[in-house]
Structure 1
Amino acid sequence: MSSYLGNLASFDYKINEWEVFHSKLTQFIKLNKISDDSQSAVLLTHLSDDSYRLIRNLVHPKKLEVCSYTELVEVLNQHFTPKRSTFADRAKFYEASRSDGESIEEWAARLRGLAVYCDFGAELDTLLRDRFVLGFRAGPERDKLFECDSKTLTFGQALEVAQKTACARQARVVVKEEPVFRVGEQRKAGHGQAQAKPSRSEDRSSVMQRCSVCGLRSHSADKCRFRNLKCRSCGGGHLVKMCKNKSNVHNIGAQSEGCSQDPLAGRDCRECDLFNMRFPN
């Protein structure tokens, strides 16, 4: 077999289709110019064990060795070719429609396969076109096909129109999915996300927070003018009134000069003036 051109697999009737194998066998014999005397041997040697026993039973009581190639093919055709009903095949054709997830090319090929045993004759192209168009579900492809002239539209032209419409629809979907960047969306070069602007509630909370140095609410601790002073009680960087040393809680403003080493502190800090008083021990 190494001298033969092409490759012919063995036929197993439990798995393979006889009509397909017979067509391939015919081309294999034609390609290699096999003589009539050897054609039956080529057929029998390319059968599985179960298929060989089947054809042996089909030709009984004759022996396989004396049967010609034509006789063997005729027996197998009668056995594997089922009796068909033209109206049943046409019913399957007329009821066919494009399935979900089925491409346009797959839909056209499946429709051609359904028309093989329908015996449409000269009306084949027209009926293929009509079933192809009507088999589409509601959508841009069907709308575009409905706009075509039925008097001049062929099956091949309908297939081309549907393919172009599907490609245009897919292109529009890709364009919609691309991100759109607006001017001013990026605050800094090289950063893909814009910095979020603080809300009014966040601004208000930062303004209303009490300064940990002097206790006022008009500024933060890092901007307080008394941030470099030392507390007379604990030595920390805050006024005495903000000191957390619980041992001096009875003497809020310990000195008459004010709450700070800065002599101006008493005049500038209203809350310090309120607490700058002496209590008896």
Structure 2
Amino acid sequence: MAGLPIPTFDDGTEVDSFLERLECYFAVSSTENAKKVPILLMGLSAGRYQTLRDLVSPAVPQSVGYDDLKLSLQSHFGEPRNMRLEHTRFRSIIRQNGESFTDFQIRVRKGARYCNFGDRLDENLLEQFISGVNHSGLSKKHTEDTRITTLAGAMEVAGTVQLLDGDSRAIAATTPNVVARVAHKGGAISNYNTFSASNTRKGQKTSKTVTCFRCSKPGHVASDTSCPARSKICNHCKEGHFAGSRFCRKAKNKKSTTVNAIADDNAATPDGITTMTGSPSAVDNFSHEFTVGHRLTLGKGTPTCTASMAGISVTFLVDSGAVDNVLDRQTYDILRNSVVLQPTTKKLFAYGQCAPLRMLGQFNLNVSVDSKTVNATFYVFDGIACNLLSAATASSLGLFCLTNVSSLSTEASLESVVKDKYPGCFLKKGMRFVCVLT
């Protein structure tokens, strides 16, 4: 058959695969026995031909029979097989995180190639697929269903499970898990005293945490008529509560003029990083304590940056409290061809969650921002979420650094103002100041 390409044997090609394809070529082209040796030699690369020539020396390869040439190639280029070792390798085949059932069954079949299972091939393929599939639901179903006797039958069930898993992930993607820290803007929550309230529906008592906004004392609410602050008159809003209470609306507006952090456009350092400063309360109340430069973008208070990974632009949420870099499944799919995903045993938790996130694995890759490049470890989260850049990686890239936080503005309490203005009216008695009226 004219024009049919001859199979080739070069570096990276298994000798058994080459000889099998060569036999197919002979069958399709109806090759005569006298022409098999020349065709075999034409399919060898220059290096392989030279090796074969040395193997049959001092004879010339053209003068050696076809079967003898095959035996020489198999003996030299073929891998020695130890049956016990091949069986051990076959029993150690396990499906990796993120590997499809189809790819896994191909590896199982490949592992059984040199095991010489004979008539028990289907039985061994099925057993290894079930034991190494690494999917509890699928393994249980295969074990319970005695009608599944071949690997093909097991793959039909696996295909159905894979479709159901895909649908579940698509539904879960509509409510993504955001891997990021959460800042409480109101500051640290106080340890309020608790009291028991009767649950009239179930007849059980549950513990609730409450405090009064009028007097700031625990144990009752602002609407309670027994509150001692209800009869007081605030100098700011003329409502009934003690001074400094969270019940005062005007006091809230006044406090809101104190900024948590500002960026001084004129205080740029030589490397282009702008210093952020804030009051001590800003450090306690917010998760991100950093200096911001031209590489970071503040969107609604959330610092983000765009980094380059394998020539692809990736947007990250920069978290000064994160210790690991996290990518979601969608971003990993874009980088899949540029990285080698390794299994991971590390457990990562979303802020405030007890159950660990489902991880696909981890990989190492260079990440660049402007002219700075670092090699970092990235963990792949099985879901759709914000990509997270850890504090260590962000600091290495020069995105931020911790800074001394100084107070921008403070509001002196009424007590300190009165003491400073009328020092003669107060006498220190022990650890307390006593007001003296004459």
TM-score class, shorter: 0.5 to 0.7
State the AA in 1 paired with 2:91: Y
Query: What's 2:2 paired with?
Result: 4
CA distance in 2, matches of 1:50, 1:11: 10
The aligned length equals 185
Flag the 1:9–1:154 CA change in 2: closer, same or farther, 3 A. Answer: closer
CA distance in 1, matches of 2:98, 2:149: 26
Query: What's 2:164 paired with?
Result: 168
CA contact (8 A) 1:18 1:80 kept: yes
What percentage of residue pairs aligned between the two structures are identical? 25
Instruction: Give 1:94 deviation, angstroms.
Output: 1.2
Greater RCO, CA 8 A, separation 6+:
2
State the AA in 2 paired with 1:166: Q
CA contact (8 A) 1:10 1:46 kept: yes
Instruction: Give 1:176 deviation, angstroms.
Output: 3.3
CA contact (8 A) 1:56 1:64 kept: yes
Greater strand share, structure number: 2
Instruction: Give 1:89 deviation, angstroms.
Output: 0.4
Deviations 1:9-48 (CA, angstroms, capped at 9, x unpaired): 4322x33211111111111122111211111111112221
Alignment equivalent of 2:126, drawn from 129, 150, 157: 129
CA distance in 1, matches of 2:67, 2:122: 34
Instruction: Give 1:121 deviation, angstroms.
Output: 1.7
Alignment equivalent of 2:34, drawn from 23, 34, 37: 37
Query: What's 2:68 paired with?
Result: 71
CA distance in 1, matches of 2:60, 2:87: 41
State the AA in 1 paired with 2:4: G
Flag the 1:130–1:49 CA change in 2: closer, same or farther, 3 A. Answer: same
Q: SS where residue 116 of structure 2 aligns? A: coil
Flag the 1:21–1:162 CA change in 2: closer, same or farther, 3 A. Answer: same
Instruction: Give 1:137 deviation, angstroms.
Output: 2.0
**Bigger Rg, structure 1 or 2:** 1
Deviations 1:97-126 (CA, angstroms, capped at 9, x unpaired): 111221101111110111111121222111
CA distance in 1, matches of 2:132, 2:18: 32
Query: What's 1:193 paired with?
Result: none
Alignment equivalent of 2:21, drawn from 24, 34, 51: 24
CA distance in 1, matches of 2:165, 2:157: 12
- How do residues 230-249 of structure 1 correspond to structure 2 at under 5 angstroms? none
State the AA in 2 paired with 1:159: M
- How do residues 57-96 of structure 1 correspond to structure 2 at under 5 angstroms? 57-96=54-93
CA RMSD of aligned residues (A): 2.8
Q: TM-score, normalised by structure 2?
A: 0.38
Task: Give unmatched runs, 5+ long, in structure 1.
Answer: 180-200, 209-281
Flag the 1:36–1:153 CA change in 2: closer, same or farther, 3 A. Answer: closer
State the AA in 1 paired with 2:73: L
Deviations 1:107-150 (CA, angstroms, capped at 9, x unpaired): 1111011111112122211111111111122443334334322x
Flag the 1:70–1:146 CA change in 2: closer, same or farther, 3 A. Answer: closer
Flag the 1:50–1:177 CA change in 2: closer, same or farther, 3 A. Answer: closer
State the AA in 2 paired with 1:104: F
Q: TM-score, normalised by structure 1?
A: 0.58
CA distance in 2, matches of 1:171, 1:134: 25
CA contact (8 A) 2:36 2:66 kept: yes
- Does 1:154 pair with 2:179? no
CA contact (8 A) 2:8 2:44 kept: yes
CA distance in 1, matches of 2:173, 2:49: 59
CA distance in 2, matches of 1:135, 1:176: 27
Flag the 1:103–1:152 CA change in 2: closer, same or farther, 3 A. Answer: closer
Greater helix share, structure number: 1
State the AA in 2 paired with 1:170: G
State the AA in 2 paired with 1:86: M
State the AA in 2 paired with 1:155: L
CA contact (8 A) 2:7 2:21 kept: no
